[in-house]
Structure 1
């Protein structure tokens, strides 16, 4: 299978996914496999919340649309044009996937197949249905993929390299267990925003998207704010008020009540708007339903600190205040070339 053939298959998948929007799923002509897959995918999306309580249809549709926008011929060309994938020797690559947000492991899955390897997938117990469905769609387009994709329930065996995602604790286990294999081992990371009080209301509302999308469960969700000494949180609270309906979701509300109670029992000083608590804390990783904040004296010192602690940070949102920051509202729409933990997966896969 040539690289061009593989790219065309994923472009076709992108066209298929583009049909699915919350409240407006419209079957289009000339999309491969609609007769067999269209209605089944809608059913699976609606059932996702029964498989994982956090996978509401709204969140699953958002993930699907994000991948639909990513899987275009132009994006795949831009992503892969800097790599030489002509002489890659086929290996078996094991993937141990997380399940915190829908299709969180799809980029690794795509990367393994697009570089010509075989993939052994161990899905998270929290996300066992969406990726296998898309794998079936791919093999319907290109039957040669059938021998390239295997989902594993039990022990992973017979692989040449591994990409594993987990917590800091499980990462230590992965590092020991896979010490003799080429590997990418991903640990906990968090995303942050750097503010100076001059942000527009629209930017602050977009920051709410970075905080609340997927209920804050992703490593690209903003969990920490850096603000100047005289910062007023009032404009921030006003701008994110449009996300107030999140508290009507039972699992989120339960976490909000629990985490707020823990903070209050510990006599922590909180800012609270009824669906999000804000606490001054030096840590990067806040519990969901809360965001930590920390004051900074000057941006140069902060930038040096962030550089020194970059291994704890997934992405930075700001209004061009610090280098390598991205626009508000974009954390959960990474490009194909925005690698998790800044580890170039394609380079890794092309040299194993």
Structure 2
């Protein structure tokens, strides 16, 4: 097997390992390699991640494991890599500055660098520091080529050839200045939107609740804004959201809900709410936790133009037969490996270093 094949095989094995950790059950599979060394240890890391960050609930941590287990299959990885030239003999060191808003949020960049044959220097967010170093050790057992190619630092980044950095719009300005002399991908704030036609059924809205509430709405693929037709009745929307009512039992979410509701009421904003979610008419894309913004539209073509003009602010558009490259209701947190953040082909960037 060639080097690329071995790298792919290691990530397929990692997918098999992660498949043991699902929301239904955590069940050890005797066929998974190196389980005696890693299975119990990863259970412990999941516990530490949950204790370290109260947004990282067991449900969301295991959802992230499920998502990566389903992505890291032979079929998916080969489809993702087939059109890229990964026979690069000149190994570069690629620094990755990761966000920490959702579990394993920087894993795709990490995967992309290693699959490309480069070395990775990772600066983790303090909010998500437990899972990836452990999974990196598993990969080193699966493929010895990775030993010496994976490093983590909490210090200033040094001795790297290119950088992939994710942060807010403010930190992106700093990144763009600081890394201006290196090949780079700098990611800024993005949010996801849903276009409602009024013809959706009950099941569509129930699926949309997953796009709104998964990871407490903290991901860039989380729907934070609705575009709705004039005269729209919100009853159907709120009915669809109702199956996520237990989210208010999370203390941190409930505190944010109470705080943002108080701010809205003191500011005398018009809001609609159902006890665990507020909606407010607002032209912004980024809504606070426990709230979703909405904006009316009158003409589909005008809305398509607006979405195109604002594409730098938007990660996903959820809709039903409305626009090219739309995401189906309930699917924003199930991206394919080739669904690149910000639409920038990371593998292509890395293969051309």
Q: Give the TM interval when normalised to the shorter protein.
A: over 0.9
CA–CA distance in structure 2, aligned partners of residues 16 and 188 of structure 1:
32
Deviation at 1:49, TM superposition (A): 1.7
**Match of residue 65 from structure 1:** 66
Q: Please report the TM-score for the alignment, with normalisation by the length of structure 1.
A: 0.99
Offset, 1:88: 5.1
In structure 2, the residue matched to 1:335 is: 336
Q: Which region of structure 1 is more displaced relative to structure 2, 274-283 or 37-46?
A: 37-46
Map of 1:20 onto structure 2: 21
**CA–CA distance in 2 between the matches of 1:37 and 1:284?**
41
Counterpart for residue 4 of structure 2: 3
User: Aligned residue for 2:313?
Assistant: 312
Unaligned runs of 5+ in 2: none
Distance 1:39 1:251 in 2: 29
Any idea what SS the aligned residue of 2:147 has?
helix
Map residues 32-181 of structure 1 onto 2, 5 A cutoff. Answer: 32-87=33-88, 89-181=90-182
Give a deviation string over 1:149-171, Cα, whole Å, max 9, x none.
00011011000000000000000
Equivalences for residues 180-195 of structure 1 within 5 A: 180-195=181-196
**C-alpha separation in 2, matches of 1:273 and 1:88:** 57
Moved segments of 4+, more than 4 Å:
none
How far apart are residue 203 of structure 1 and its match? 0.8
Distance in 1, Cα, partners of 2:334 & 2:4: 25
Contact in 2 for aligned 1:162/1:181 (Cα 8 Å): yes
**Distance in 2, Cα, partners of 1:246 & 1:231:** 26
Contact 1:96 1:123 in 2 (8 A): yes
| 2-structure distance, mates of 1:5, 1:297 | 54
Partners of 2:109 and 2:346 within 8 A in 1: yes
For residue 101 of structure 1, report the CA deviation from its aligned partner: 0.1
Q: Distance in 2 between matches of 1:211 and 1:27?
A: 32
| 1:218-229 superposed matches below 5 A | 218-229=219-230
Distance 2:65 2:242 in 1: 26
Any conservation in 2 of the 1:88–1:351 contact (CA below 8 Å)? no
Normalized against structure 2, the TM-score is what?
0.98
SS, match of residue 147 in structure 1: coil
Distance 2:21 2:176 in 1: 38
Shift of 1:22: 2.5
TM-aligned CA deviation for residue 23 of structure 1: 4.6
| 1:286 counterpart SS class | coil
Indicate the SS of the match to 1:185: strand
Verify the 8 A CA contact 2:48 2:130 in the aligned structure 1.
no
CA deviations on 1:49-79 (whole Å, 9 max, x unpaired) are 2111111110000000000000000000110
Q: Kindly tell me: are residues 301 and 88 of structure 1, through their superposed partners in 2, closer, same or farther at Cα, counting changes over 3 Å?
A: farther
User: How many residues were matched structurally?
Assistant: 352
Distance in 2 separating the partners of 1:38 and 1:118? 26
1:230 aligns with 2:216: no
What residue in structure 2 maps to residue 265 of structure 1?
266
Unaligned runs of 5+ in 1: none
Give the deviation of 1:39 after TM superposition: 1.1
Deviation at 1:144, TM superposition (A): 2.0
8 A contact 1:88–1:115 mirrored in 2: no
Q: 1 CA distance for matches of 2:343 and 2:143? A: 31
- Per-residue deviation, 1:323: 2.1
Contact 2:280 2:293 in 1 (8 A): yes
Could you tell me which residue of structure 2 aligns to residue 292 of structure 1? 293
Aligned equivalent of 1:249: 250
Shift of 1:46: 2.2
Confirm or deny: 8 A CA contact 1:191 1:315 kept in the other structure.
Answer: yes
**CA deviation profile, 1:147-206 (whole Å, cap 9, x unmatched):** 110001101100000000000000000000000000000000000000011111111000
